[in-house]
A and B are shown apart, each in its own frame.
Chain A
């Protein structure tokens, strides 16, 4: 590699690296037209992507009655129902991340190290949720949940179904457990891929063998060998799960729960400016997160190659 990875998503570079390609391009009968074409394309794209952002920003800042003010970005925190909805979303997202990692890290380690035969099956299983859009899965989930008060009346599955929709934990408040559990399923294709990519490119097999050979237990192997060496991909899949859970709207709104996204939608009818401010904030936060993760992955890969 001529240079460290450009980006987490664009890992494929020619061995020569892109700059060399275009050092030569003038000699290669690439018509001069491209000199105009490229800026035009980039300009139109920039226009398309920045105009709505700019328009929204202006909309959030400016108001005929009060002029320009920062109200949209600061007043959100004091709105009725904000903290309740926000904390609910936070709990759901954290639970999604925890469930994903607890379930998928051992499973993917297991299929990479011990049960290679099962790997293909688990891989397909993890990709299958792509075929079932959230709006489709939720139909099935609501069907199963509706068995509770009907077919399963008075049995233990009914209490389980009730608990899934209305679970409460000491100190945490009520959190419908069904949501994080479903989000784990919906995020599976992405979280599994992130973990799998990490496992494929790391020399985890050798490391685990070495650790086992030196007499460490499986628990120690997972916490002191596997997790540290898979740090980036574990972090990646945790981020994917968190982002997915925090921004999810379809399932939550159809099942009539009220996390942050649903709250914003209902709130939009009262104060449009505020909802737009929140949207812009959420975009900025996601972007910041992703940049941090990319930077993290970069230093990591730089360390790995040196």
Chain B
């Protein structure tokens, strides 16, 4: 289709009037791109650049000599603590914030962020593929119309659930599996106290909740690929004496593999950058990187003037992790197109 349009532009019939109008048309056309360029530069490139700048640039500090502490007592004066020297410092480029971001509590945050993302991405990929396969293969021959409605219903539900992150999702789980949740209360009546075995507000709880939108996401991404597996391939394999395992191992598996790998990368990114769900579940206290960024930006006054820089360094770390995965996703998507497009 695109090829048709492309050759359409080159036809002599259209080329002639363009030449008549001379130089004005191409320049007008590129001026048309100006609003987009300007908007993109101001609202995306500038903030991103500022964030990177902040992550690597330490500010100028005026410096201050040591202040000796004053003992209190007389006339009800409160004692003032001694304050150490604050060395003067020129603005300079530094690795210290980034170094900070990969040590201590921030390292723990990054680690549990990555662990949650890996676990949920792989689990969602497996569950999503199995589920998508069950849905795709549910097209019973006789009930053709019925099966198509079922499939459409499931697919549109998946689309809704895949975008169903954030607060509503967290609330849904809190009032089902939370401390006062329906299922938790129900389990007490049965005599098996769920609250003893499962804590929704922990890392495992967050993982369970994330899967609620990630499995549908995987179904959406992988279903077209599963439907693209041609029945002829299986017939051919079967005619050549392959059993089901051979077919999956040597035909369907390799064809689907790029798609599955790409999807895992996508799922990882979506889990890694999720914020609202974990925030709502744990009131912003779970030590994972996105929530730590918020704490640095809006949180305690104690931590001093470096907080913004540390937030920027944490944000930079997130980008560093997400970029290669996005590249993998794009690359795999392109490879998939070879076999599974029609």
* A interface list, Cβ under 8 A from B: 3, 6-16, 18-24, 28-31, 34, 37-38, 41-42, 45, 48-49, 51-56, 58-60, 103-104, 106-107, 110-116, 118, 122, 125, 127-144, 146, 181-182, 184-185, 200-201, 203-206, 209, 213, 243, 247, 249-250, 253-254, 256, 261, 264-265, 268, 272, 275-276, 278-280, 282-283, 286-287, 290-291, 294
Check if B280 is an interface residue, CB within 8 A of chain A: yes
B144/A15 in contact, CB under 8 A: no
Can you list, as one digit per residue, whether each of B25-42 has a CB less than 8 Å from chain A (1) or not (0)? 110011011011001100
CA distance A228 to B182 in the complex (A): 49
A52/B177 in contact, CB under 8 A: yes
A55/B9 in contact, CB under 8 A: no
Partner of B43, one of A118, A182, A243: A182
Check if B273 is an interface residue, CB within 8 A of chain A: yes
B8/A205 in contact, CB under 8 A: yes
Q: How far is the CB of B260 from chain A (nearest CB, A)?
A: 16
Give the chain B neighbours of A261 by CB distance below 8 A: 166-167, 276
A265/B280 in contact, CB under 8 A: yes
A-B contact pairs, 24 of them (CB 8 A): A18-B136, A18-B137, A22-B137, A28-B238, A30-B244, A41-B130, A42-B131, A42-B135, A55-B176, A56-B171, A58-B182, A115-B33, A129-B44, A133-B272, A135-B293, A136-B273, A139-B47, A184-B43, A185-B40, A203-B1, A261-B276, A279-B169, A286-B163, A287-B156
Interface of A, helix, strand, loop or mixed by DSSP: helix
Give the chain B neighbours of A9 by CB distance below 8 A: 155, 158-159, 220, 223-224
Number of interface residues of B (CB under 8 A): 112
| Given A115-B33, A182-B43, A276-B171: A139 touches B176 (CB 8 Å cut-off) | no
Give the chain A neighbours of B227 by CB distance below 8 A: 10, 12-14, 18
A55/B183 in contact, CB under 8 A: yes
A249/B181 in contact, CB under 8 A: no
Task: Given contacts A30-B244, A37-B134, A276-B171, list 15 more A-B pairs with CB under 8 A.
Answer: A12-B340, A14-B230, A34-B137, A110-B32, A125-B40, A135-B290, A136-B51, A143-B47, A253-B279, A276-B172, A279-B168, A286-B164, A290-B159, A290-B160, A294-B152
Interface of B, helix, strand, loop or mixed by DSSP: helix
* B interface list, Cβ under 8 A from A: 1-2, 4-6, 8-9, 13-14, 25-26, 29-30, 32-33, 35-36, 39-40, 43-44, 46-54, 127, 130-131, 134-141, 144, 147-148, 151-152, 155-161, 163-169, 171-177, 181-183, 211-212, 215, 220, 223-225, 227-231, 234-235, 238, 243-244, 269, 272-273, 275-276, 279-280, 290, 293-294, 297-298, 308, 311-312, 315, 318-319, 322-323, 326, 330, 340-342
